[in-house]
Structure 1
Amino acid sequence: MSSLDVSTPGQPAAEHAASTAAPTSRRSRRWLGWVVIVLLVLGAALLIMRISNSASVPFRGGGDPDATGDHGMLALTEILRDQGVDVEVVRTRADAIAAISDDTTLTMTDPYTLSSDAVRDLLDAANDVVLLSSSTRMLDLLELGETTSASTSAAVPASCDLPELAKVGEIHPGRLFIPGDGVTGCYSDAEGTAALLVDESSGSRRAMIDGTRLFGNAYLAEDGNAALGLALLGQSDHVVWYVPSFADGDIEAQAEPSLGDLTPEWVTPAIVMLMLAGVAAALWRGRRFGPLVAETLPVTVRASETMHGRARLTAKAADAGHAAEAIRDGSIRRLARRLSLHERASAAEVADAVADRLRIPRAAVQELLTGALPASDDALIDQARRLSELESAVDDAVRAERGTR
């Protein structure tokens, strides 16, 4: 009896301790899981913020005199400075016009963010202009000639009477043009089309050449490219190099009132409170799933391997148009998400939304997102650079708008 008296009171106490310890352990594991999830969400948010901040840095790519990439022109800039030429890089029209004097050479790539009137004002301020572009619009504004689809892969000499080109060797020209009346054409082919157009009939010099590839850092040492760049830009002691950007656009689009402008101020807080209530209800009444079951698949193909494989096939086929279409489609989808458009919004709808948000000409954005696809690697790189600048500008505009609310 004494042994029974000792054991019977102690056994229920042990069973009770074990039964309370089990629920406590389960609750602790559940709360620990939620804490881990919250920390992961916060970490992902911080990572996205850092990526967004890094994406807002101005892109410096093809044609930029400060860029060190293959298609940047820092090497040409340094050569000019070594020869005693003062190269002043400006990124706004106002700074460019203020820096131009009588003995100044103005050079730039295609100023695609400026209207025709703004381009004329910029060109009229300089007596010596060298345009490193193959833009049809700039060809018409300078009245130098006409564009053509002709090209040549052979090296050609200057074949013109310009004294500054006398010691320049042969080059492999890029885009060719048809010279206009009174315009000197250099580096011509058998049909009379020329890679360099120079007009000195009005007492000032207006020159145009497709310098995107000729004067890029990776190609400057080929043939007579460096000598040609020095001959075109080294005729004066001062060079003003204007770099166009979306931030320097001169036309503000007339933005129509958005849905947010027409919505009462109390609607947004009410929607946020409803969303929080929905999340709380889901956490409170949501079904608790069990642990995930791992299943071994027969073959595992990483997404990165698929992406690199498709990229190698496109590069091997030299299909610049296909690659440009993929890059542009990706930009359109990302712009649609950032502007809160439908995921199936057309390119024209995205272009209109971008033009309204950035207050820039619709035609420039329409041409970039819906225009003809590039047919060469140089044009592909230029389009990718412009799409990257457009996405960065939209990101900045969206963040600025959210910060003011």
Structure 2
Amino acid sequence: MTDTTSAVGATVVQRWRTMRWVLLALVLIVGVSAVSAYLTAPRQGGRMNPDATSPDGAHALVTLLRDRGVDVVIAKDLAGVERAARPDSLLLMAPTPYLVDDAALQRIANLPVDVLLVEPTSWTREALAPKIERAEDPSFGGEPRCDMPEATRAGQVQLNLSDTYEPVDGAALTRCYDGALVRYTDGGRAVTVVGTADFMTNAGLLREGNAALAMNLAGARPTLIWYIPDRIEGESDGATSVMDLIPGRVGWIVLQLCLAVGFVALWRGRRIGPLVAEDLPVVVRASETVEGRGRLYRSRRARDRAASALRTAVLLRILPRLGLGSQSDPASVVETVAHRIRYDPAAVEYALFGPDPSDDAQLLSLSRLLDDIERQVATS
């Protein structure tokens, strides 16, 4: 019993030593996959995104405006902007790299709404606010020093770094904060441009006067259309898969490579012929072979195969002595053996054709019974 326990313990240790590296590799693969999925997962965010709660998002400003009674409409394409555009609306254009189409900018310029450009690109500013240009000196002050109602009510603000603007060809222009905030009227609508978006973000609203200025500018009309496109106008919004990025001819190249590999495999493949018996390179004692096979059966708890091997070996040795062939039916073999050695037929049937042992003790008893039957047949 002690030998069996120690053998089982050794087997468990060997299995653990073999499996621990596999388990470690699986853990590393799962860990790397989880980290990669977390880092590459899409997250709601982005600068001046009205739904983002990150420091550079604008969710706080949108919430304040809606609490004040302003109807904030989030538009991610021009069709949404055009549906919501009304004479009493204000179009806020957040900083975006996607507004580069001349036709799209012209459609915005034709809308009958006031426009608030926040930190516009030169492309957007030239198309929608052609009467202003960037000033050479970007410095500005914290006091409004103008008669724009939104700025005078807000008072001193902290805009940090900001572009400043000046009029083109002496155009009539209201300049606040030394040009960081400007406004002029064009065709009956007001065009307001502010050189930075920081004071409108979730983090920027906390600074002195910023929240007041942001709410005064964005809440000047009953309806605010917050335009922040997430793609270039006209492009498909469907998700692009890896297969969409592969050129069409690559499929034919892969097919040709597969055919080439298949032909090489057929050419170099080795045909499987009949089994050939070969002598062992060394002489192995029968006792060592039996002991090794026994340990293998025990390590795998293969009592059924061990019992089948013992029964088959005994039948191959006693059937010639009984004058029976290998194709004899079990009933004839049991009757002949029991009559020959004067044994209980039930015991003979159990020994030669009975069920598989359920534990090591039954397997040991079966081996002793088979040995006794074989010995008596040999001496009878």
Question: Normalization by structure 2: what TM-score?
Answer: 0.55
Matched, 1:138 2:138: no
* SS class of match (2:201): coil
Matched, 1:87 2:75: no
1:51 Cα deviation after fit: 1.8
Tell me the alpha carbon deviations over residues 321-347 of structure 1, each in whole angstroms, 9 at most, x when there is no partner: xxxxxxxxxxxxxxxxxxxxxxxxxxx
Equivalent residue for 1:303? none
Equivalent residue for 2:173? 184
1:41 Cα deviation after fit: 4.7
* Pairs within 5 Å for 1:24-35: 28-35=15-22
- Aligned counterpart for 1:168 among listed residues 151, 154, 157: 154
Tell me the alpha carbon deviations over residues 138-164 of structure 1, each in whole angstroms, 9 at most, x when there is no partner: 22112132223523363222424x445
Matched, 1:205 2:190: yes
Tell me the alpha carbon deviations over residues 54-87 of structure 1, each in whole angstroms, 9 at most, x when there is no partner: x223x41321222223322223222222221111
Identity %: 24
Matched, 1:230 2:215: yes
Structure 1 residues 214 and 268 mapped into 2: Cα distance closer, same or farther (>3 Å)? farther
Conserved 8 A contact 1:144-1:197: no
1:256 Cα deviation after fit: 9.0
Conserved 8 A contact 1:105-1:126: no
Conserved 8 A contact 1:144-1:198: no
1:136 Cα deviation after fit: 1.5
Aligned partners of 2:140 and 2:152: how far apart in 1? 22
1:129 Cα deviation after fit: 1.0
Q: Gapped runs of 5+ residues in structure 1?
A: 1-13, 275-405
* Pairs within 5 Å for 1:167-316: 167-173=153-159, 174-181=162-169, 182-189=171-178, 194-246=179-231, 248-250=232-234, 257=247, 260-261=250-251, 263-265=253-255, 267=257
Conserved 8 A contact 2:87-2:112: yes
Equivalent residue for 1:156? 143
Aligned partners of 2:82 and 2:259: how far apart in 1? 48
Aligned partners of 2:151 and 2:104: how far apart in 1? 31
Computed over aligned residues only, the root mean square deviation of the Cα atoms, in angstroms, reads 3.7
1:49 Cα deviation after fit: 6.0
Q: Gapped runs of 5+ residues in structure 2?
A: 237-243, 265-380
Conserved 8 A contact 2:85-2:113: no
* Pairs within 5 Å for 1:302-381: none
Aligned partners of 2:11 and 2:206: how far apart in 1? 74
Aligned partners of 2:8 and 2:150: how far apart in 1? 92
- Aligned counterpart for 1:118 among listed residues 98, 104, 111: 104
* SS class of match (2:153): coil
Comparing both chains, which one has the higher relative contact order based on Cα–Cα distances under 8 Å and sequence gaps of 6 or more?
A: 1
1:21 Cα deviation after fit: 8.9
Q: How many residue pairs get matched?
A: 247
Conserved 8 A contact 1:111-1:119: no
Aligned partners of 1:76 and 1:259: how far apart in 2? 50
* SS class of match (2:186): coil
Aligned partners of 2:28 and 2:22: how far apart in 1? 10
Structure with larger Rg: 2
Question: Normalization by structure 1: what TM-score?
Answer: 0.52
Structure 1 residues 239 and 228 mapped into 2: Cα distance closer, same or farther (>3 Å)? same
Matched, 1:51 2:38: yes
Aligned partner letter, 1:140: E
1:241 Cα deviation after fit: 0.6
Matched, 1:39 2:29: no
Structure 1 residues 249 and 56 mapped into 2: Cα distance closer, same or farther (>3 Å)? farther
